[in-house]
Every structure is written in structure tokens, then in C-alpha cells.
Structure 1
């Protein structure tokens, strides 16, 4: 089953290519559409596609730059360039970025089917070479399960260090490392949930990582958190890290508290905390803090004895114009307009 991404700024061509791919007879797991290169790159990082079809001329980020960045992030993603006749020389520059095929506009059903068959053969050859054997992964998970279950923190770190070295020696690409770590985490959670009356949920998110070391660091934080949660559950003192963070933010709205400071306060890796916070609140750390500041500002603006300049300081803005600009962006009104609407001069 193939994951396919189409990047083209022309809706008619984008939809037309989608239809031709759907009619190709190839097994498709997902078929997503992007309006330009920036959109496509974001989608690639969120869910790695097997095949990328991209136009050459697009706003914000053209196809050439998209091919370059895709190849840097994951050279195993197979790329098909879609171009007009006049863009052919320009499209040839993509050769160094691993482009597998060209489709000249207007695109035909036959050319799409031929391109997909070529990509499918290359993918089958690529997929026949496993990153890490199933038996080795099972050994790692079993060892980690015992360490977490028995609350052996030092042993867990030892296992993670061994896994880190093994993955490095395999010479895996970033996406391969991510897939192995994600599978490791999912298997470990499944095993722990069978053994325990408490339910663990999969919190590991690696779609935004930029390097193997960052992926392994987040993976380590995730496993350490499992161990700490299990210890807390057995003592009846399970901590809610996100609620702790919210409380700390609320108590320091008038200060410029950073994500790193809050993460350190509650004992989490900043990258992991950032993902955990967004997953729980559906907002980034900054978005949440800004929203809470603006909500507090609205309450204070409803009190006549507060001056607007004082309110900006109360909600953490030493720069009054910045507060005014942020408040208008959030509410659609200037602070003075908001107060006037309440009947306060």
C-alpha cells in the first residue's frame, strides 16, 4: 500500500493527477494534495510518503527546492517531476536530487500508470532490505519491558545506549530510525498494558525531528517517562505534567517564561514537553500562553481603575505597543476599543 503526495499549485492539474493515480490500479494507503512546496514539505514531515509528484513552478517554494529538501530529509522518497515542455531543461536540474521520472503536461493516463509501475518496482526492491531484524527488535523491547516494569532506571538507560549504538552502526536514514523507534515504543506500550492494570498511551511523536540524535533523545525521554509514571501509579501519586505546566504558566503570566524553563521545572526534555503539551492542548506553548494572557487582559480591561498601560505589564508585556498589537490580533479590537465597547472611558 503506497502513500502518495501530489504538489501542484493548479487545482485542475492537482485534481486531475489525483484521479489518474486513483484509476491506476496501484494499492494506495493515502493520497494527499499540497498547494505548494512549503505545504508539501510540511506534509512529508508529518507522514512520510513513498512517492512524491511535484510541479516545477509553484509559489512559496518551487519544485526544484522541494526536491532538494526532500532528498536531504529522506533520499528514499521517490520523486516524479511534472513539468511543461518549456520547463524541461529546468526540470533536469532535479536529477541530482534523485528524481525517478518526468511527466510532461498535458498528463496522460498511460504516462501516469507507467511512472507508478516504475516506482512500485523500485519500492519493492528497497522494501526487501529490512532496517532491523524482527528478532533483534523483540530482544530490545523485552529488555526494556523488564527494566521499566522493575523500575530499573540505570538498566533502562543502558539498554537505550545500546540501541543508540546499534542503530548508528546500521547506517540508517532518519526516517528509518524514526520508524524503528516508533515501532519499539508501540510494542513496549502494548506489552506493558498487558501486564499492568494501568493503561499507557502512545505519546511518542517524532514527525518534526531534524536528526537521529534528536529522535533518540525524545525516545529516551518517552521511555523514562513511562518508568516514572509507573512508579507514580504504584504509589498513587501520578503527576499530570501538562496541568503542572498550565498552573506554572498561570502563576507567571506577567513574566517572560520560556518553554525550556517550564520543561525544566516539571522535569521533562524540552522537545518532548513541547510535543506533549501540543498533543494535550491542541496549542503550542506560545499560543496557549498568549491566549491566557489575552483572556486575563480582557478581565482587567473590564475594571475601570486599571490603566491600559498597567494592564500590559500585568500580562507580561513590557513593550506596550506589542501588547496592543497582540490584543488586536487576538480580539479584533484595540484595548481602548474593547474597553469603550464595555462602556468604560
Structure 2
């Protein structure tokens, strides 16, 4: 169940949302309600909701200021604004804060339900992406161990597979910046590309391309934070020939674009 926090200084709005939205049908549960921004901030930190539906103009702390403070500690929470204020500046700031939907009162039930479903879809996509990347990185730790494996005199098939996988990983890590493909690595190991695919799948559980991309992205992250090379230069340095494809791949693995990653790391250094 997705946890929902409702924040509005109008009791009739809170009660209407609690009673009219088919929460169970969309696998959601209202875990708390607040009547002002300060109370909303406290409950958000305590309950860690997946989605917050909030007004803008509220006592003590505005909805937008509250969102800013929540996002400082919780990057995953999604926000839906439900307000009677039509000022463009509010909408623009909401967009800047990454608010999922900006709904104007009075709003029909279907629009509210669709806004919640959109927020859920975004959450699911982000969490799936993070899980996939975490799984791949766990396997990379295994690669590091495998790449250090020395050839065993034992003629056991499992030992051979582990050794060949380790050598393949080692070769990828040493040559990722060149135009590297499956056949090149297979030729280096004097085995068929089919057999290389098979042993990588058995030992690592991922394809050659997935492994190569992860090694390249790790080096790109290093270059983005330790050098002043432009993104298109780093693209070539880590083995990609197409900058848009590199940026897309980087975002898939890291969750943000190369420039956003560089700026974020730079901001953290400045704060530090």
C-alpha cells in the first residue's frame, strides 16, 4: 500500500478526500492528515509518506515552503498541489520543486485519482530503476573479485568458467574506452562469443553490454567530478561515440543526467 499524507487547513477538503477517493482500489492508505504546513512537515518526517497532497496557502508555513524542507530529507516523496490560488508564480515554483500535479479547486474526483495514479507510476518507475541498478552493482562487486582470480591448476569446469569470466571482466575494465564488442573479448580469450555469453550469464546474470555500460558509467562519474572535460569529451573518453546515447544510458544507471550529476557533486563540495 502507498502511504498518503493529506495537508489542508480546510477540514471539508480533508474529509472529502478521505471519504471520496477510492484509496483501497488504487492500493493507497491515508496514514495522516495535517491542518497547516508545520504540522505537515512534522508528520512527513515521522510517517515518511509516498505521496503528499497539499494546499499552498496555510497557516504557519506555506505548502511550497513545506515541500522545499521535506525534499531536503526525502527525495522519493511525490507531491500533488490542490489549491484555489491560480497565480502563475505558484505554478512555476511548484514545477521547479518537481511537484507531480498542480490541481485547482474545485477539482473533480477523476482528476484527483488520475494525479495520484500518475504519482504512483513515477514512484514505481524510479524504484524499479534503483533496484535494477543496485542489483547490477552488487554483481560488479563480484566482478572485482572475479577479475583477480588466478588460473587454477585444477581442471574443474567450474574453475575454468570462473577464471574465464574473471579474465573477461578484467579485459573490459582495461579496454572500455575503445570500441569494444563481445567478439573482441571472446577472441582475446580464445573462446567463441556464444560461449562467452553463456558463462557471463551463468556467473554474472547480465549481458556483455550491461557489464560494459556499468564499467563505462563508473568511469564517467569519476571524470565528471574530478575533471573539467565537457560531456561530449567524456563521452568519447569512456568509449561512446554518441553523446545523446551516452546521456540516456547515464541517466538510466544514475537517475540523473551527466550535467546534473556534476552540478550536484559540485554543490555538495561547495557546501562541504
Q: Shorter-chain-normalised TM-score: which range? A: 0.3 to 0.5
Of structures 1 and 2, the one with the larger relative CO (CA 8 A, separation 6+) is: 2
